[in-house]
Amino acid sequence: MSDREIRKKGLQLQRRELVACAGGLAGMLALGAAGAALKGDKTLIRPPGGQDEAAFLSLCIKCDRCRSVCPEGVIGVSTIFDGLVSMRTPVMDFRKGYCDFCKKCIDVCPTAALKPFSGQSVKIGVAELTESCIALRTGGCTKCFDVCPELAITLNKQNAPIIDREACSGCGLCVKVCPANVLQSYKGGKERGIVIKSVARQGGSR
């Protein structure tokens, strides 16, 4: 075999190794994406009684009864973008309604994925302001303060909302009435001035 043939064969082997490495890297990336999808999204807001995420996912059979019975229409379903395990499980959609803690979703849950609770409400999330909040810039909006059933929102001297995280139940009424995405639609965004963040527990620990 001549020197030229040896060099040619060496180049061919290098190309094959590069292709193999690229394929392996793509496979690892795909596995990583699949793993992330299987883990699910810990930030999803569950209906009342479903805040222990690990326990909830182990019991929920995606029967859709909670969504169907909700009188406020606030319960929606998660999508594949929320993870394969979570897909089609119930999530709260405060753009459509709010939770009045009527417990009907708990009553119809056949597997006790939504646990009964004592008292008038249970903490399903915590309200947080976003950069879209009109009152933070102008002090010209008091909608969330006006409707909060838990009196968890007060106003400072500039008329900007202050949220008491302990008092907030995450009912989402403040999100439902927030006008920021409408009054500021010219900016092209859909974010409201207040959102509900998850307080989900993993495996029973906060």
Q: Looking at domain 53-197, which CATH architecture does it have?
A: 2-Layer Sandwich (3.30)
Burial of 31 from C-beta contacts in 10 A (0-12 / 13-18 / 19+): exposed
For residue range 156-197, list pLDDT tens digits in order.
999 999 999 999 999 999 999 999 977 655 555 678 999 999
Predicted TM-score (pTM) of the model is 0.75
Mean residue pLDDT across the chain: 83
Residues paired with residue 92 on neighbouring β-strands, in sequence order: 75
Phi, psi for 129 (deg, rounded to 5): -75, 150
Confidence (pLDDT) at 28? 42
Confidence (pLDDT) at 128? 97
Confidence (pLDDT) at 191? 85
pLDDT at 64 over 70: yes
Ordered by start, the domain boundaries in the chain are 1-39, 53-197
